[in-house]
Amino acid sequence: MAAAAAIPLTPLDTRIERVLPTREDSGYSSPVEPPSPGSFTVKLNDGNEIPLLALGVYKAPNGQETEDAVTIALDAGYRHIDSAARYANEEACGRAVRKWLEKTGTPREDVFITTKLWDADHGYEATLGALCESLRKFQLDYFDLYLIHSPSDDKEKRHQSWRALETAQKLGKVRSIGVSNFGASHLDGLLAEARVVPAVNQIEVHPFCQRRALIDVCRGHGIAIEAYSPLARGDKLRDPRITRIAERNGRTPAQILLNWNISRGNIVLPKSLTAGRILSNMESFSFTLSPEDFAELDALGSENYVTGSLHRSED
Ligand SMILES: NC(=O)c1ccc[n+]([C@@H]2O[C@H](COP(=O)([O-])OP(=O)(O)OC[C@H]3O[C@@H](n4cnc5c(N)ncnc54)[C@H](OP(=O)(O)O)[C@@H]3O)[C@@H](O)[C@H]2O)c1
């Protein structure tokens, strides 16, 4: 994938001064447009690059509405789609991606596709079967990232699933492999047996659920953080502490939440099926929050999960 800019992952306490190059320091001047925020990437521990921004598609139907949203996102400059077998919309996402690649003549390598192994499919053979089924639904030859959606309670099965992911990576069916909803103890157990260190851990992260301890553990192993529910599912967008910062910066509350995460080097996966929101969520890169803004956001809390107990990885 051609990287417009690589933002190195940073320790949690080191903020990136300026999230993206401005038009001036990108070297671009009018009428040439600066690169789209959708193409900004970070490097994973396996050397592959992953776009910092993805369109999340949880609860998106397996039909035209999702096809349209994915197409709008790709047209706007997103280059990363985050799906899952559990979301039951892999066909719609695949149709949209393939049509868009064909329409625009874009090479497959320029779009980053993630999907996930559902909990019912843990185990070596079952994992490989589930991966093949997801590839069939997407009608793709490989995924850029395949994740274990949640750690099975059965440690042996969990590790068998990981071995299957390692095999799939060797076979070229997935370029990067990672986990989701893994806590520190799950990671410890996995790393003791794994040949490949997970490239990412996808967990709930936003200013109301900061997960500092777990993020420190992941960073210590070179595991990138994918922040899911980065908009706190929309629940906190009217919180006066967020709207005050948004007004101060002339930004939307959603952009403030996304900027907080991106500024920490986290990959963000905002979900929207609404064209205007898909577009405005992209504009979360081009401003810098002040130290005072960060202090206020950092003070909001650490354990206010919006996704419920199913997805609480123990830190
Ligand atoms: N690995 C896991 O276990 C896991 C768990 C949860 C989520 N995820 C991933 O992370 C993605 C995002 O998480 P999420 O879907 O839970 O929640 P989210 O992205 O935090 O929030 C999505 C909600 O916010 C609304 N929204 C989006 N942009 C907005 C804006 N600019 N202004 C106001 N409202 C806005 C959306 O509505 P509309 O769609 O109506 O615009 C939707 O209701 C998922 O889609 C999925 O890909 C992974």
The class (CATH top level) of 37-304 is alpha beta
Question: Any binding-site annotation on 149?
Answer: yes
Tell whether ligand 1 has an atom less than 6 A from the beta carbon of residue 307.
yes
Nearest CA to ligand 1 atom 14: 229
Q: What is the mean pLDDT of residues 138-166?
A: 97
For residue 250, the 8-state DSSP code is T
Integer Cα distance of 257 and 253 in angstroms: 6
Report CA(281)–ligand 1 centroid distance (Å).
11
Q: Residue 31's pLDDT is what?
A: 39
CA nearest neighbour of 98 among 137, 52, 129: 137
Dist CA 141 CA 132 (whole Å): 9
Domain ranges of the chain: 37-304
Report the pLDDT value the prediction gives residue 306, as an integer from 0 to 100: 87
The predicted model scores a pTM of: 0.91
56 in ligand 1 pocket by Cβ < 6 Å?
Answer: yes
Q: How many CB atoms lie within 10 A of CB 109?
A: 11
Which atom of ligand 1 is closest in space to residue 231's alpha carbon?
A: 20
Q: What pLDDT digit, counting tens, does each position of 246-297 carry?
A: 999 999 999 999 999 999 999 999 999 999 999 999 999 889 999 999 999 9
Does the CB atom of residue 86 touch ligand 1 within 6 A? no
With DSSP H G I counted as helix, E B as strand and the rest as coil, what are the percentages for the chain, rounded to 5?
A: 40, 15, 45
Confidence of residue 8 (pLDDT cuts 50, 70, 90): very low
**What's the pLDDT score for residue 36?**
72
Report the residue among 180, 271, 282, 310 best suited for mutation to probe ligand 1: largest number of ligand atoms under 8 A from its CB.
271
Asked if pLDDT for residue 29 goes beyond 50, the answer is no
Q: Give yes or no for residue 305 CB within 6 A of ligand 1.
A: no
Please tell me the residue having the least CA distance from ligand 1 atom 47: 56
Q: Residue 311: what pLDDT?
A: 60
Q: Is the CB of 274 under 6 A from ligand 1?
A: yes
Angle CA 213–217–219, to nearest 5: 115
Q: Spell out the residues 6+ positions from residue 35 whose beta carbon is closer than 8 angstroms to its own.
A: 4, 5, 26, 28
Tallying the residues shown for the chain, one arrives at 315
Q: Does the structure show a pLDDT above 80 at 92?
A: yes
Q: pLDDT at position 11, please?
A: 36
Taking the CA of residue 280 as reference, the ligand 1 atom at the shortest distance is: 31
Catalytic residues: 87
Query: Tens digit of pLDDT for each residue in 198-234?
Result: 999 999 999 999 999 999 999 999 999 999 999 999 9
Locate the ligand 1 atom nearest the alpha carbon of residue 257 and give its number: 20
Q: Judge contact between 7 and 16, C-beta under 8 A.
A: yes
